Amino acid sequence: MKTAVVVFPGSNCDRDLMVALELVTGRAPIALWHDDKELPEELDLIALPGGFSHGDYLRSGAIAARAPIMREVIAAAGRGTPVLGICNGFQVLTEAGLLPGALMRNAGLDFVCRDVKLEVVNTQTPFTSAYRPGEPVTIPVAHHDGNFQADSDTLDRLEQQGQVAFRYAEEVNGSARNIAGILNHRRNVLGMMPHPERVVEPAHGGTDGRRMFESLFSAFA
């Protein structure tokens, strides 16, 4: 399985994501720079990591979403290549228009950094097939702008079309309908605020994130 992680100035979870991908796929991901003009051929996954790209200036993910590499990421997503955005990566995906809605300042205004309980809502995706439907999992969050908002028509559509991948099982940041992660209509793009790459081996204190990478691996191995 051939994977790539896009690094923006200010990304800080890129290394953890690469370690998690290599652990599960057995192959080190290719690191791409925001200013790269083209993607390696035949990628099975493009992952956008967490962090504070461009200092979160203007809006979280806004500048990164207009980086040269993102034109290629958007084109690849259009061809069906799986794209995973975690935390700041999720913010970049909404800013780039690959996912609907927006991630706003947490309702409590605090930066939230702790383990949270989630429900896996949709397991019929290449990202979540190794989970059980409705399964409770614990994955950490660490964000200031994770409050997912969209108009009610969009929220209804996301729910009716199976585009909600993860829901918070507790109050975290004020997100509409407790949405923690969403898919595009084609289900090849997933954005989520929790950090699965931070819980992939027992020494991390949990392994509930590992099956996301195993799901992807089994889809492409």
Instruction: Work out the widest C-alpha separation in the chain, in whole angstroms.
Output: 43
Q: Which CB atom, from 110 or from 201, has the smaller least distance to another protein?
A: 110
Residue 172 sits in the site that holds another protein (CB under 8 A): no
Residue 124: strand pairing partners: none
CA atoms within 13 A on the CB side of 166: 29
CB 64 within 8 A of CB 162: no
Is 87 one of the catalytic residues? yes
SS3 content of the chain, % helix, strand, coil (to 5): 30, 25, 45
31 interacts with another protein by CB under 8 A: no
95 catalytic per annotation: no
Q: Which of 34, 119, 195, 214 is catalytic?
A: 195
- Footprint on residues 56-75 left by another protein (CB under 8 A): 58-59, 62, 66
Cβ distance 50 to 86 under 8 Å? yes
x/- mask, another protein, residues 73-112, rule CB under 8 A, reads ---------------------xx----xxx-xxxxxx---
- The site for another protein (CB under 8 A) is made up of 58-59, 62, 66, 94-95, 100-102, 104-109, 147, 149-150, 174
